[in-house]
Structure 1
Amino acid sequence: MTVRLRLTLSYAGLLVVAGGVVAFIIYAVIRLFPNYPLTAANPRDQGPVPTRADILDLIVKLSAYALGFLAIVGLVGGWFLAGWMLRPLQEITAAARKASSGSLDHRIGLTGIRDEFTDLSDTFDAMLERLQRSFEQYRRFAANASHELRTPHAVMKTMLDVAQADPDHQDVPELVKRLAETNQRGIDIVEALLSLAALNNRTVELDALDVASVVRTALPALEAEAHATGVALGDDLSESVVEGNEILLHQLVTNLVQNAIRHNLATGGSATVTVRPGQVVVRNTGSVLDPVQVRTFTEPFAKDRYGAGHGLGLALVARIVETHHGRLDLVSNPDGGLTVTVTLPEADLVGG
């Protein structure tokens, strides 16, 4: 039985039961009347007078007709009333069918008085919107990942084809160097993808540690790249004890500083790492960024308006911050460049 039919039978049954109760009350009241013949005040007006038994028989007969009428009214009216009440549910069901077929751009948008159906509709619309954003992000990720993984192999194939076509005029050491760099790029992409997958499928143990110490450990390995690109790398480190995982926070700092170095000015650029209680702030110089595009930088392989790719670095940072139950804020600087602020839960050292 459908919900509409069950509601219809419920409405009709309730109406018949209510009518039956009223008829029973009338029947019970009539039975209290005295059981003797009724006479008129003027004997000349005396005519056929029904007895109590006659009245009770009439009440039973009329009650049966009335209950039958109420049953018909309840069934017909209840059917239309249930249909009107369930119409919003039908719209939600139609939207769910469209979503199950892959169409996520449809929205229900129920209007009117706030009730359970409008709440369900708004919740369903919000879910569809999140799903649509997620699927679009995954599609972009798959397309960009395929492109990024294909590019190193295509470059290596081209270099090898050229070398095979003219082996006598090749600078072998330079060729090997370029092949090694291109191969390393592919390895880095694969390792970043594996890191993202690992973070999505494991529980991370968090301990109390000083973020400033993690930054001091990570910076020496990044100074060479900063020097090679002409970026002045500075730091301002204060003690900041947080609940974190040392390996993941080391990766977070490395990715943020690498991003600050690689997306900087061609000459005279700078990058600064600041640690203060509960926060890590990385600021760099660079071109003026669109604030709307900045919000997409945490998506894998996001690119800015100048076509500069951010790869998987900030995407991995965002996942590490989420794993630490922290917050990641990206703000474009008015004079160019980006300021990234990572807020982490501070460790409670009172009980330890």
Structure 2
Amino acid sequence: MSALRVRARLTRRDTEFDVALADGEVLAVLGPNGAGKSTLLGLVAGLLHPDTGTVTLGDRTLTDTAAGVFVPPHDRGVALLSQQALLFPHLTAAANVAFAPRSRGMSRRAAREIATHWLREVDALDLADRRPSQLSGGQAQRIALARALAADPTLLLLDEPMAALDVAVAPVLRRLLRRILREQHRTAVVVTHDLLDALALADRVLVVESGRVVETGTVRAVLTAPRSPFAARIAGVNLVGGTMRDADHLVTSWGVTVSGAAENAQPPGAGAAAVALFPPSAVAVHTEPPHASPRNVFAVTIAELDVHGSTVRVRAADHPDGSIGLAADVTPAAVADLDLAPGRAVWFAVKAQEVSLLPALPRH
């Protein structure tokens, strides 16, 4: 069994985690830079000692501060693959992959057979005799993956594995990882900034902000109805937090009322923390306060304009509470006709039927 459970706190990094991962499940960990994603991997891999807490993998206790248990990294049954391949420069690709089984006491022949198997699995058998200096970034990462798998880990940790790869190479490695993780029912944790990694590889998503888990759920649930600002931004939707005034209205901390409709059978009650979600495509931009049908009107200042395919995303400055500002998707013609530019004051309007009201998730 390879189920993972982490309950740990690291005071000097102001991080505290309570994470559970089922046997054979792939978890994508998302969050902004410095949120604590790599700290979570370090606690699992044994590269960091928590001040308090436990880490268990299957029926093994890897860390238990109360009992004085701390299994060293090499004996945890955990393999870590980072964005840098970190291959041994003096060894061939085959020798790099054979290193882990040789370290476990296997004969040269047995280790060579294992290396050949995994080189074949990652479509790199033709690279067996090359040294790292003779490999491209994508080739080196495939060899690093084969080396990690040759260690026969109970748990695979992937720390931004595609981040350093060319945009043409990353999809190839992503497809390779998907095949291996799915076909072999591997338990894995994938730290990534890329939404495609979560969509292609993961069963569940966990969002980390400021050293805490702020959201977790299935990939579909988190990316279609996010409750945290970071998840909302990568999912491409607007999120406004506040407190429910009644079943159809949310009031923000700066006093703006947002009208919408509850999205589930148990809507947040009056006084409950909640979030309002709506897509940028539902937002109309006005240069004068609108007085027609829209029930939600936000006075904003344009912060930036970005091209998104055939539309232009108009991003407003952050909200008064510091949360991420709203976005509207408009046509290039509308940008020209309305003379939209950073620094200009405008009004964003969205109809109430376009707004979903959901309970805010508690911090884990």
Say which structure is richer in helix: 1
User: What TM-score do you get using the length of structure 2 for normalisation?
Assistant: 0.21
Say which structure is richer in strand: 2
Question: Taking CA–CA contacts closer than 8 Å with sequence separation of 6 or more, which of the two structures ends up with the larger relative contact order?
Answer: 2
Q: Point out the structure with max Rg over C-alpha.
A: 1
